[in-house]
Structure 1
Amino acid sequence: MQDPSAYIKQHIRTVPDWPVAGVQFRDITPLLSNPRVFRVLIDQFVHRYFDTRPAAIAGLDARGFIIGSVLAYELNVGFIPIRKKGKLPFTTVEETYELEYGSATVEMHTDAVQPGDRVVLIDDLIATGGTMLAGARLLQRLGATVIEGAAIVDLPELGGSARLRAAGLPLHTLVDFAGH
């Protein structure tokens, strides 16, 4: 088999001009619909975290739930959903972050982690880094240690991965795409 990152990358669909003109949308749904590719994808993360076994995997709403929950299952650790504001039914802690136009807020349950828990924070893609940084701040406010941020795709030209590393978050991505 070829290099797993190259194999994964060739199964990511680029949709031009979506959701707006000029954007090259990186669509991971082909990775998910092909059982072999999906297994290769998940195995890349399982092998990375198998020996360093975190206490939990935190997934960012919504595509981070897909990868994160399967990874948590495979590692036999808990899964923590970090959701958009207003979606969680119990007591929450929230973090607001800036978007290109406006802001957004993510939340998680106050009992999702315990002080000292080692957590991997995962999403499908890193663009500007705002959502992942907000998720990391939530986990840290509750006393968890975010051992690494992880994603399938990095869009380095948008500056998110550099921003996350500058904020002190170790980062692991499988593939990167030039441009937007």
Structure 2
Amino acid sequence: MSYAVTTGTFSRRRFWVTFGISMAVLGAMLFVMMSQGIALAAPLAGIGGVMLEFDRLEGTGFQMLPVTNDTDKAAGVPMARAKIDHLVITNLHLYKDLNVGGKTVRVSITASPVEISGLVQDMTYQEAGSISFNQQTVDEQRGSSPLSMTAPDVVIEDARIVAHYLFQNKAKLPGMKLEVKVID
């Protein structure tokens, strides 16, 4: 039994039109992700806490709860979970030091003023020059969240935080600067 081999035709015009359309769609998706801050949502999970430093935070819809979460060193570590509905941060400096090939490399992001909606942050350490609340309530109850602290407004100044989990519904980072450098 003999088989006939046939070859198809190739339309260069169709290929380039299809390729151009797909690149335009990809470019539009990348533009939307970068303009909305989604490109910065890459997790640094499993490699220790991320340092946050800022001059001033003004937030509305504040809530703090005790939680347990995992770090790179242990599971079920007690932490404080801060939830803030909307906040503005002045002079944010977020950085992470990584051990790469025997050297310490710092990945650093700075921006100001940063606007965030729907912040959820788990932290093991917070130091601040001052914290002020408006109508603060501390509530103790039975159940999975035995203690909660709420306030309609919060202002935190000159803060340093070690966060092990960060989530934002929406973030605007005007003037964002990303820097990667060896600090040894």
TM-score for the superposition, normalised by structure 2: 0.23
More strand by share: 2
* Structure with larger Rg: 2
Q: Could you say which structure has the greater relative contact order, defined with CA pairs below 8 angstroms and 6 or more residues apart?
A: 2
TM-score for the superposition, normalised by structure 1: 0.24
